[in-house]
């Protein structure tokens, strides 16, 4: 009973927190709703930016389809795109946030390959990892373009060093793990243990991921390139928003650097879809990058970008309404299965 009550109350609390956070940002001058009129004065520009967001979403959906195919789960492309847009709509508008969209994607993948539930779950994990790594690569590019501004702020220096360490260290670490998993007898004994502990369970999952994707380097590279293209398109849209609103003194490279951290902050499950959290992070980074404080409401740029993303995700609404009963059924069906 308490668990059911928590599931009902938490979405309401998140909406309340989102409202309070947006109100706080507006009161602190970090959001300026009057600036929105500049963007909406040109409907064709608005439509173009929405279409670019949709293209970015579609590329992201195809990235997941490729990661599934690497595991021999052949989700039809049309269905994969439909599930992607329904998932985006679920993430934005339904209780559960990102978990709702991921649960839906998992359910459809399991329906296509009923005996491959663990692989489908791993594909979602890899989809997140590939997307995050591409995001950090874009962040490295933004740092290099605007290195002087980043190096002026001690906190951002540390952030930049951490990003460089992750981006440069991840590929060789992955190769080392691959060799470790393939040739380590101790690990094989741990994996085959009848009652594995917490560390052993982590190693088992790692072993499973590397076993499944260890022979799909080409597919992983293609998924990574698609992720770079998709996120590059979305970042281009945000830069267009920043140039249109023309707030403060920071430029496109600063916006690109701030956007990556706003995207990461969006994953903090305080509000639906990270509303208010991403805007606060974006505004804070932009203010840190200013050489002279301007007091500009930089959070408005990310808020407008979020609104464009919501408009681009609306095609998921009719698909959700049309397949709603089927969606509920396959999620219940998937939840009832246990991994083999």
What pLDDT sits at residue 59?
93
Question: Helices 77-93 & 43-69, crossing angle to 10 degrees?
Answer: 120
Q: Of 14-18, 44-48, 172-176, 222-226, where does mean pLDDT reach its minimum?
A: 172-176
Whether 50 contacts 313, CB under 8 Å? no
Whether 216 contacts 42, CB under 8 Å? no
Q: What is the DSSP letter of 265?
A: H
The pLDDT tens digits for 46-87 are 899 999 999 999 999 999 999 888 888 887 888 788 888 887
Q: What is the DSSP letter of 28?
A: T
Average pLDDT, the chain: 79
Other Cβ atoms less than 10 A from the Cβ of 328: the count is 11
- Helices (H) and strands (E) counted in the chain, each on its own, are 16, 0
Distance CA 295, CA 256 (A): 19
Question: Helices 252-265 & 217-245, crossing angle to 10 degrees?
Answer: 120
The pLDDT tens digits for 266-310 are 877 777 777 888 899 999 999 988 888 888 899 999 999 988 988
What pLDDT sits at residue 34?
82
Share of the chain above pLDDT 90, in %: 16
The pLDDT tens digits for 94-113 are 544 555 667 778 777 777 77
Distance CA 94, CA 125 (A): 21
What pLDDT sits at residue 340?
40
Distance CA 83, CA 11 (A): 23
Whether 288 contacts 19, CB under 8 Å? no
């Amino acid at each position: 009973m308490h668990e059911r009550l928590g599931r009902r109350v938490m979405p309401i609390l998140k909406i309340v927190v989102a409202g309070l956070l947006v109100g706080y940002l507006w009161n602190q001058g970090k959001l300026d709703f009057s600036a929105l009129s500049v963007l909406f004065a040109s409907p064709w520009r608005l439509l173009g930016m929405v279409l670019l967001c949709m293209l970015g979403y579609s590329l992201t959906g195809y990235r997941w389809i490729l990661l599934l195919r690497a595991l021999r789960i052949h989700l039809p492309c049309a269905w994969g795109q439909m599930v992607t847009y329904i998932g985006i709509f679920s993430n934005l508008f339904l209780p559960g946030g990102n978990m709702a969209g991921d649960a839906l994607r998992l359910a459809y993948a399991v329906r296509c390959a009923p005996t491959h539930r663990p692989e489908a779950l791993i594909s979602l994990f890899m989809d997140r990892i590939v997307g995050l790594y591409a995001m950090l690569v874009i962040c490295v590019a933004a740092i290099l373009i605007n290195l002087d501004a980043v190096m002026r702020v001690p906190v951002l220096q540390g952030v930049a060093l951490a990003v460089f360490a992750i981006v440069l260290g991840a590929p060789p670490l992955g190769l080392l793990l691959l060799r470790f998993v393939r040739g380590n007898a101790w690990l094989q004994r741990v994996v085959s243990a009848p009652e594995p502990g917490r560390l052993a369970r982590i190693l088992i999952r790692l072993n499973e991921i590397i076993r499944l994707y260890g022979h799909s380097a080409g597919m992983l590279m293609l998924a990574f390139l698609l992720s770079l293209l998709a996120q590059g398109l979305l970042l281009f849209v945000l830069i267009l928003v920043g140039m249109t609103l023309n707030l403060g003194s920071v430029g496109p490279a600063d916006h690109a650097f701030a956007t990556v951290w706003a995207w990461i902050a969006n994953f903090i499950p305080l509000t639906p879809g990270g509303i208010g959290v991403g805007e606060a992070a974006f505004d804070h980074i932009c203010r840190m990058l200013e050489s002279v404080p301007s007091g500009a409401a930089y959070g408005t740029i990310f808020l407008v970008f979020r609104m464009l993303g919501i408009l681009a995700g609306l095609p998921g609404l009719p698909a959700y309404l049309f397949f709603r009963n089927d969606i509920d059924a396959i999620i219940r069906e998937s939840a009832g299965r246990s991994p083999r």
